[in-house]
Amino acid sequence: MENGITPVRVRFAPSPTGHMHLGSARTALYDYLLAKKTGGKFILRIEDTDQKRYVEGAEQELIEGLRWLGVDFDEGPDIGGPFGPYRQSERKGIYLKYAEQLVESGHAYYCFCTPERLTKVREEQQRRKEAPHYDGNCRNIRIEEARQRIEKGEKHVIRFKTPKEGTTTVKDLLRGEITVENRTLDDYILVKSDGWALYHLAAMVDDHLMKITHVIRGSEWLPSLPLHSLIMQAFNWPEPVWVHLSVFLKPSGKGKMSKREKDELLKDGYSIFIKDLKDLGYLPEAVVNWVSLMGWSFDDHTEFFTLSDLIDKFSLEQLNPSPAAINFSKLDHFNGLHIRNLTDEELARRITPFFTAKGIKTDAEKMKKIAPILKERIATLDESVEMAGFFFKDKVLPAVEELVPKGLTPAQAREILLESHIILSAVGNFSHKEAEEPMRAYVESSGFSAGQVFGVLRVAITGQKVSPPLFESMEIIGKEVVLQRLQQSIRLIDQE
């Protein structure tokens, strides 16, 4: 609640098990905004206690994703900080120590049940239509006996001794108090038989040690919130402010994104993965703006925000607890807005890699001239290649059937091209204004419509039916090349 005044310490704690997606991006963003707003610290902590699920390169992708978005962290694995290390795999010993402390104080116990036995217990419970849970077999083994068995090398885990009676009430900032009956909770494992701590223990220990004041995470954690609260209580540690964000649903709003749907999305030029979004031509500014509004709002009409606007305006009180369907057409909209918010120089710089990726050599000067006429007609950066590739090609190859549009005969199209060639040849200063003026006069006298004349010219000069404004384009291409291309098109018609 002490938002806006006291500096917070918040952490984004992903596990390096796959690609960074929109949900992570939003959580990290809110963390960052809250930290910046309060003059606090934003920490990146890698939750890699599960060796089996580790994915090579995932941590790097996470860091790159955050940097790309502009969501910079103050402490983290690659930059260090006063509460490191920031990779849980490097903190193994710490967790074990705290787990044993819990055993000592009677809040946890050693359990010697084999995975086989547990599976059997669960199967039986399912058969009886009971909720699967640990049956408490080792709950009351005396600590001395347990120590002896461990000494003899018996495999064991450490379990939390969840109270069997009563209720646990925890407060979530968005939902208020949540109360559960303790008997519906399980004796969760804190430390595995290989000595690695599980999330429930590791995260609580780290949050405490790293002096985390607000835990912002996805609502999939809500069911284990009582456990986490109980663990904190067992240690006698103060609890952070708990903030559970709503989940993202698939665009239809029915259920969450499945593997198959992710593939389908990519076919439409969309993705929930941050690295894909970058390659698809989305601006980090737009992704930030868009994602910030899924579960948060400022007022009833303001929607365009830069990162610094968001730092200024963000507040936990305006978070919305209900699930949100991902709306990609709105991302396109925001991308357009942010593209138009870029300076010409900046836009030129951002679209250049997309040309390079398609094997098109660009030049910076020309690109700067193209940027302004491209700006309001692209929704994503990669569209600029399709729209403006012709500026950098030595040759364009207009299709004859496009050169001769419906309603015109080849002879008429030829006439337009020839007349235009004569008129444009006579233009001294080849600016779009000076070229357009005599061409307009020609349209008037020719009996053709502006659409017909300029349409033929567009195809002849750009090789495309859709392009940036004709005369601005011609100015950038230059008189010489324009005339060459007109001649080429006349030849093309003649050859038919």
Other beta carbons less than 10 A from residue 333's beta carbon = 16
Is the CB of residue 489 less than 8 Å from the CB of residue 417? Answer: yes
Annotated catalytic, 259?
yes
d(CA 74, CA 105): 35
d(CA 470, CA 462): 9
Pairing of strands 176-181, 167-172: antiparallel
Complex with RNA: residue 152 or 361, whichever CB lies closer: 152
Q: Which of 5, 127, 131, 151 binds RNA (CB under 7 A)?
A: 131
Complex with RNA: residue 7 or 397, whichever CB lies closer: 397
Q: Which of 105, 308, 315, 318 binds RNA (CB under 7 A)?
A: 318
Mask: binding to RNA, 339-378, rule CB under 7 A, as x and -? Answer: -x-----------------------------------xxx
Stretch that binds RNA, among 62-70, 350-358, 391-399, 452-460 (CB under 7 A): 452-460
Q: Give CA angle at 140 (137, 144), nearest 5°.
A: 120
d(CA 27, CA 33): 10
* Site for RNA contains 169 (CB under 7 A): no
Least distance in angstroms from the C-beta of 474 to RNA:
9
CA-closest candidate to residue 157, choices 190, 185, 132, 187: 190
Complex with RNA: residue 75 or 436, whichever CB lies closer: 436
Burial class (CB in 10 A: 0-12, 13-18, 19+), 340: exposed
Complex with RNA: residue 324 or 403, whichever CB lies closer: 324
Least distance in angstroms from the C-beta of 245 to RNA:
10
Considering only residues 237 through 256, tell me which ones interact with RNA, judged by CB under 7 A. Answer: 246-247, 249, 251, 253-256
Stretch that binds RNA, among 57-65, 122-130, 395-403, 407-415 (CB under 7 A): 122-130
Stretch that binds RNA, among 267-275, 280-288, 315-323, 415-423 (CB under 7 A): 315-323
- The size of the chain, in residues, is 496
Q: Which of 101, 137, 327, 488 binds RNA (CB under 7 A)?
A: 327
Considering only residues 1 through 20, tell me which ones interact with RNA, judged by CB under 7 A. Answer: 13-15, 17
Mask: binding to RNA, 397-426, rule CB under 7 A, as x and -? Answer: ------------------------------
Q: Which of 323, 353, 372, 405 binds RNA (CB under 7 A)?
A: 323
Could you say which of 259, 267, 395, 406 is catalytic?
Answer: 259
Number of residues that bind RNA (CB under 7 A): 95
Q: Which of 96, 141, 337, 427 binds RNA (CB under 7 A)?
A: 337
* Site for RNA contains 219 (CB under 7 A): yes
Considering only residues 51 through 110, tell me which ones interact with RNA, judged by CB under 7 A. Answer: 52-53
Q: Which of 182, 320, 412, 484 binds RNA (CB under 7 A)?
A: 320
Least distance in angstroms from the C-beta of 108 to RNA:
14
Q: Which of 56, 151, 268, 300 binds RNA (CB under 7 A)?
A: 300
Exposed e or buried b for every residue in 376-414, given b needs 16+ CB within 10 A?
Answer: ebbbbbbbbbebbbbbeeeebebeeebbbeeebeeebbb
Complex with RNA: residue 39 or 164, whichever CB lies closer: 164
Q: Which of 3, 137, 224, 446 binds RNA (CB under 7 A)?
A: 224
Stretch that binds RNA, among 306-314, 352-360, 417-425, 460-468 (CB under 7 A): 460-468
Complex with RNA: residue 7 or 53, whichever CB lies closer: 53
Q: Which of 332, 402, 419, 437 binds RNA (CB under 7 A)?
A: 332
Q: Which of 208, 313, 330, 350 binds RNA (CB under 7 A)?
A: 330
Least distance in angstroms from the C-beta of 495 to RNA:
25
Least distance in angstroms from the C-beta of 370 to RNA:
13
Catalytic residues: 259
